[in-house]
Amino acid sequence: MPWTPGRYPPSMRYLPPLVRLKAIAIANALLDEGHAEGQSIRIGIAKAKEWATRHEAELSISHPREL
């Protein structure tokens, strides 16, 4: 079941909004590839956090309150 910015797994609730959007995109892509929901969620969150860490400087300049 694909997720949206308005409907996402409870485990993504406390992610910053930009990180949550990235996690949703990653998890949905994994679902499309045939991964299980739980695995897609876990990987999506982990990869989105890695992405945010790599782009932290850029994100804090453009969206200082969201990280």
Tens-digit pLDDT profile for the chain (67 aa)?
689 999 999 999 999 999 999 999 999 999 999 999 999 999 999 999 999 999 887 766 555 555 4
Where exactly are the structural domains of the chain? 14-62
Confidence at residue 65, expressed as pLDDT on a 0 to 100 scale: 53
pLDDT score at 64: 53
Q: What pLDDT shows up at residue 15?
A: 95
In three-state secondary structure terms, 6 is coil
Alpha-carbon dihedral of residues 29, 31, 35, 41, nearest 10 degrees? 80
